[in-house]
Amino acid sequence: MAIGLIIIGDEILSGKRVDQHFPKVVQLLAARGLQLGWAEYLGDDPARITAALKRSFASGDIVFSCGGIGATPDDHTRQAAADALGLPLVLHEQGKQNIQQRILQMGREAGQAVDLDSAENLHRLKMAEFAEGAALIPNPYNNVAGFALGTHYFVPGFPVMAWPMIEWVLDTHYADLFNREPRAEHGVLVYEAAESALTPLMVALEAQYPRIKVFSLPSVGDANTRRHIELGVKGEPGQAAEAYAQMCAELDSLKVEYARL
């Protein structure tokens, strides 16, 4: 079971807004000893969102979806999630009550009378229409809940709401997964070497140490840094330490210049 992230919104793909969810979710997971397995960006296209959710529901992965759960015409995620599962949209009673409580609170704060049956306030209840059987994800910012379907968790696009909601899901449902697999990472900067010359070493290390991965991040350099490759190993601490020691020994035998990180 991997952990996936879906980020929805034309404003991200057009560049009107810079996505903040990806780095934050990586950070939230890392703090709990977890790692993101995949991520996908989608525009406000109902068919594409539905197709992506069909795939992810079938995968069995833990998936966080950010954006598109409001009540404006460009919010399609609630309907797409229902369509992906072949379920009807229904008004969630507790979700409805949460929204109405928020409407009343806003009225009190503004010193205005509130008509819960006004067209505007009835339209707001669409934010509580979820696929049949959905569970609520509490929203500490304004009490307008997100929703969960199986191992999929749908939260707003606003970071101030989405991030604490994702933390709540992790801490409430997946604490048993935290720090289950200790990980270590070791690396060096290899200067003025061709990546192709290091590939046999990388292949050999992964073959010998099945619980580690080798990473290679080349850089062409700039005015302040020479051309280099960040080369390293990550994974199970014991094997990572052994693989790193062997990697450095092999680099010495190749007589390439490197600096330990």
What pLDDT shows up at residue 223? 86
On the question of pLDDT at 195 being above 90, the answer is yes
- Mean pLDDT, to the nearest integer, of 136-153? 97
Alpha-carbon distance 82 to 84, whole Å?
A: 5
Distance of CA 16 to the CA centre of its chain: 20
The model's pTM is 0.89
What pLDDT shows up at residue 218? 96
On the question of pLDDT at 109 being above 90, the answer is yes
Selected from 3.30.70.600, 1.10.600.10, 3.90.550.10, 3.40.50.1100, the CATH number assigned to the domain covering 184-260 reads 3.30.70.600
Size of the chain, expressed as the number of residues it contains: 261
Superfamily of domain 3-177: MoaB/Mog-like domain (3.40.980.10)
* DSSP assignment of 106-135: HHHHHT----TTSHHHHHHGGGGEEETT-E
Domain coordinates in residue numbering, the chain: 3-177, 184-260
Residue % of the chain over a pLDDT of 70: 100
Instruction: Give kind and range of the element (H or E) at residue 5.
Output: strand 3-8
Q: Report which residue type is found at 66.
A: C
Alpha-carbon distance 140 to 219, whole Å?
A: 43
What pLDDT shows up at residue 23? 98
Beta bridge partners of 186: 233
Which tokens hold the place of 13?
Answer: 């793909």
Alpha-carbon distance 232 to 213, whole Å?
A: 8
Contacts of 187 (CB under 8 A, 6+ apart): 215, 230, 231, 232, 233, 260, 261
Alpha-carbon distance 101 to 236, whole Å?
A: 49
What pLDDT shows up at residue 224? 87
Is the distance from CB of 186 to CB of 241 less than 8 angstroms?
A: yes
What pLDDT shows up at residue 1? 81
Lowest-pLDDT choice from 41-45, 106-110, 179-183: 179-183
Query: Which among 214, 206, 153, 213 is positioned nearest to 181, based on CA atoms?
Result: 213
Per-residue pLDDT tens over the stretch 46-68: 999 999 999 999 999 999 999 99
Task: Tell the residue number behind the tokens 């509130």, with chain if given.
Answer: 114
Q: Which long-range contacts (CB under 8 A, 24 or more apart) does 111-115 make?
A: none
